[in-house]
Amino acid sequence: MPERRTVALVTLGCARNEVDSEELAGRLAADGWDLVPEAADADVAVVNTCGFVEAAKKDSVDALLEANDLKTAAAEGRGRTQAVVAVGCMAERYGKELAQALPEADGVLGFDDYTDISDRLQTILSGGVHASHTPRDRRKLLPITPAERQSADVALPGHGDAPADLPEGVAPASGPRAPLRRRLDSSPVASVKLASGCDRRCSFCAIPAFRGSFISRRPSDVLGETRWLAGQGVKEIMLVSENNTSYGKDLGDIRLLETLLPELAATDGIERIRVSYLQPAEMRPGLIDVLTSTPKVAPYFDLSFQHSAPGVLRAMRRFGDTDRFLELLDTIRSKAPEAGVRSNFIVGFPGETEDDLAELERFLTGARLDAIGVFGYSDEEGTEALTYDGKLDEDTIAERLGHISRLAEELTAQRAEERLGETLQVLVESTDGEDGPVGRAAHQAPETDGQTLLTLSHGLVPGRMVEAKVVAAEGADLVAEPLAAGSAAGAGDGVASGAVCTEEAGV
């Protein structure tokens, strides 16, 4: 009997990429590949790259080079890895250009290759060559009219067809755009895609060009995947897309998220539903009401403000200003006083003045945000901002980035101090780390926000929801004492501190 093929998926970037990797894992498992966690133990190392900002692109290249080192070692008899393949946003965005610049990669596959990923990898593993794709503006692949998009035959990560015969542990297809999925870890938290792509045209962002126009997944597919994940032991679902506030517009109901959330929260086994990637300009009263009043739905607002000075926002092709944003936060907190809010900001945008920076400081000081990501502007190919006059020099951008980052650290630490004495619902994520049991409250999304350290470990296991009282703050993190160790508690009515995130910019 021939030895089974092995593959490892190395994922970089955001939660959307993590979902894409699990789709690829499902397709490969369904076709007989063995999934292994370490690239060194795999015949093929598949690197799911990020292509949004310069630092992320560098990390992706470094990961591909590291995988290539494993291939070199295997050729010398010190390992197994025979091929390295790039997929994901950077591969989609640059295609042949990336392949030429990085000959160490044996293949550069775009989103159109995902459905046939098994055949592509087998070809490469057998010594064949699959031509790297030519990048194209994916916004032009779907109809301009959102209502016409659902019937379009376009490859979309997270929206794929699936075969009928599936091995154990692979999520079944529940609809025409419901993908295969195989979990790659045992975390009690998993992301679920609401949609792909974006119709907004922010002048600094290249994502729509390589992710495409906005298209929603059908509610039945989202519900079916959530139920499957609950059966896999998942306790918290995080809904992700490039813009969750647009969900349903191509299905004829822009308020579809408001009806979907209670249905998701009613799923047996799910303790918490979290919604990420919200556009401030698209927030509506009904959505705020559902996010702040539905049991098991976290009162968590991941709002992509990006700046608060009106002139900078208009140059970004965005809307709002300091006072409007503060009014939005007041509305949220009038309904859920302890609601958590996080956001990302770009400093040093072309034309940004000292007065603009002072306006941003005014907003940050008044907003009481739990988590803040701060990024220095950098030119991105294919964006409108690349053509702008008024570019600031690198030293000025670095100075402003350092200044606002220090302010953000101070403000999020102050916000954490405000949580002292609060009672939180904490989802335990690990118990064997050097800090002891660690979990997250309703505010704290994976990777981007702070965490809660629990003072007692008796009865705590990953996936357990416990009620705990905040007794201390350590920067942006919290320390909390379980009130009844090991006891399950309802989710959705407690929040905790955030952190300064410098790894991922919201869109």
Per the annotation, where are the binding residues for [4Fe-4S] cluster? Answer: 14, 50, 89, 198, 202, 205
Pairing of strands 477-482, 465-474: antiparallel
Ramachandran bin of 291, using left for φ above 0, alpha for ψ from -120 to 50, beta for the remaining angles = alpha
Tell me the C-alpha distance between 463 and 430, whole Å. 8
Tell me the C-alpha distance between 83 and 26, whole Å. 20
- Measured CA to CA in angstroms, residue 192 lies from 159, 225, 226, 235 at distances of 11, 8, 7, 13
What are the residues whose beta carbons fall under 8 Å from the beta carbon of 415, sequence distance 6 or more? 368, 369, 370, 476, 497, 498
- Measured CA to CA in angstroms, residue 305 lies from 117, 211, 323, 400 at distances of 37, 21, 12, 17
CA distance from start to end of the chain:
49
- Measured CA to CA in angstroms, residue 98 lies from 95, 155, 382 at distances of 5, 21, 16
Helix (H, G, I), strand (E, B) or coil at 41: helix
Helix (H, G, I), strand (E, B) or coil at 478: strand
Q: Would you say 64 and 107 are in contact if contact means Cβ atoms under 8 Å apart?
A: no
What are the residues whose beta carbons fall under 8 Å from the beta carbon of 491, sequence distance 6 or more? 236, 271, 272, 296, 298, 425, 427, 442, 465
Q: Would you say 495 and 424 are in contact if contact means Cβ atoms under 8 Å apart?
A: yes
Residue stretches of the annotated binding site:
14, 50, 89, 198, 202, 205
In three-state form (DSSP H/G/I as H, E/B as E, the rest C), the secondary structure along 131-187 is CCCCCCCHHHCCCCCHHHCCCCCCCCCCCCCCCCCCCCCEECCCCCCCCCEECCCCC
Stretch (H or E) spanning 220: helix 219-231
Helix (H, G, I), strand (E, B) or coil at 488: coil
The long-range contacts involving 62-69, CB below 8 angstroms and separated by at least 24 positions, are: 63/10, 63/12, 64/102, 64/104, 64/105, 65/102, 65/104, 66/39, 67/10, 67/39, 68/104, 68/105
Residue whose C-alpha is closest to residue 121's, from 40, 22, 8, 211: 8
- Measured CA to CA in angstroms, residue 448 lies from 181, 321, 491 at distances of 24, 24, 20
Q: Would you say 396 and 367 are in contact if contact means Cβ atoms under 8 Å apart?
A: no
